[in-house]
Amino acid sequence: MTKVDPWADIQGKVDYDKLIKEFGTEKLTDALLERLERDAKAKGLEFHHLLRRRIFFSHRDLKWVLDEYDKGHKFYLYTGRGPSGDIHLGHIVPWMLTKWLQDVYDVELWFQLTDDEKFLFKPELTLEDATRLAHENALDILAVGFDPKKTKIFIDTEYAATMYPLAIQIAKKLNFTTTKAVFGFTNDQNVGAIFYTAMQSVPCILPSVLAKRNIPCLIPYAIDQDAHFRVARDILPKLGFYKPAAIHCQFLPPLTGPGKMSTTGESKESTIFMSDDAKTIRKKVMRYAFSGGKDTVEEHRRHGGNADVDMAFQWLTYFEPDDKKLADIRRRYESGELLSGELKQILVDTIVPIILEHQRRRNDAKRTLLQVLLRDHKG
């Protein structure tokens, strides 16, 4: 299996059950899913398809966070992004569920933009560019539709007078031996990168520090970020804080086949960015989406397509919330009624509105950004 860590380029099929064992997380149980569904229904909201379909598949301490919530002890959500290049559809997936969690539980979201990380781990990237990208990405975050009154966005380098004093308290409890073991660092690693994980742990405690009382933290993230939070869960109780809870999602695979979508190298061509126009999206889907259809129309009509390997269909499981509609598409595709090109067109018709709506909201977000952005003013 391909290596899964915060900086690996993940290619090929990912064995998520194996990751649960390897990382020591827990599978999302039916009982937990039912509980989330109940909480959503109580708020008049649909149970989220990313949960129904187990695209969010794993967690840590989710039961505890919900128990605390039921006792009147609200959690907050924390998630983040390493700013780099354009936002693509794969980035949006965990944010979609994060927004849903904010809506269901009416909680704060603390969103970290790790310009320092990207700068320290990407040899050619300048800090100026990393910070600029962070500002760009902040608009995409707001475009997801988070409640601006309950959302705080911060860029590490701009919020360091607040974050650095907390980061060094975490760093004091973490030695190089551990970072070697957890992240696979060698002695050639730069000392900023070695320190960095402490900055990623800060939002697990920051709201508690500012509020001067412990607040449970729930972090929705793609499973590749897990190493940071294994470290955080080990250290933070030693500093008197709760272990952060987590809920983990699978990666949106590239259109071309299994793995994790990326904006670098060859796969860039086939990546669908949140800034793409309808025509570009259609072209990419038509050209690159790996098809589970048969070689000829005749054969396809006779034997039907294979939805399980067809990337257009796989993507619909991420972006088409209606279960009946999805089951119907599968049935028609597997019976041969629906051709590969037609299935791709259904995907295009599903994601184009999502992306265009994102673009509209991103444009509006320029006004909201200043209101949600936490910065240490320089003096």
Contact set with a copy of itself (CB under 8 A): 116, 119-120, 127, 131, 156-165, 167-169, 171-177, 179-180, 185, 187-195, 197-198, 374-379
Q: Tokens in use for 114? A: 């790790």
- Quick one: 178 or 275, whose CB is closer to a copy of itself? 178
Strand order in the sheet with 373-374: 26-27, 56-60, 245-249, 217-222, 76-81, 109-113, 151-155, 373-374
Q: How far is the CB of 166 from a copy of itself (least distance, A)?
A: 9
Q: How far is the CB of 66 from a copy of itself (least distance, A)?
A: 33
User: What gap in Å lies between CA 108 and CA 150, rounded to an integer?
Assistant: 5
- Quick one: 65 or 194, whose CB is closer to a copy of itself? 194
**DSSP reduced 3-state for 41:** helix
Q: How far is the CB of 232 from a copy of itself (least distance, A)?
A: 13
- Quick one: 74 or 375, whose CB is closer to a copy of itself? 375
- Quick one: 201 or 291, whose CB is closer to a copy of itself? 201
- Quick one: 239 or 354, whose CB is closer to a copy of itself? 239
Q: How far is the CB of 362 from a copy of itself (least distance, A)?
A: 25
Q: Which of 144, 146, 134, 107 is nearest to 357 (CA)?
A: 144
Q: How far is the CB of 152 from a copy of itself (least distance, A)?
A: 11
- Quick one: 10 or 167, whose CB is closer to a copy of itself? 167
- Quick one: 162 or 256, whose CB is closer to a copy of itself? 162
> Which residues neighbour 260 within 8 Å (Cβ) at sequence distance 6 or greater?
9, 10, 11, 14, 90, 222, 224, 251, 252, 253, 254
Q: What angle do CA 277, 283, 285 make, to 5 degrees?
A: 100
Whose tokens are 């559809």? That residue is 89
Beta-bridge partners for 26 = 59
Q: How far is the CB of 122 from a copy of itself (least distance, A)?
A: 10
Q: Which of 246, 227, 228 is nearest to 23 (CA)?
A: 227
**DSSP reduced 3-state for 349:** helix
Q: How far is the CB of 371 from a copy of itself (least distance, A)?
A: 12
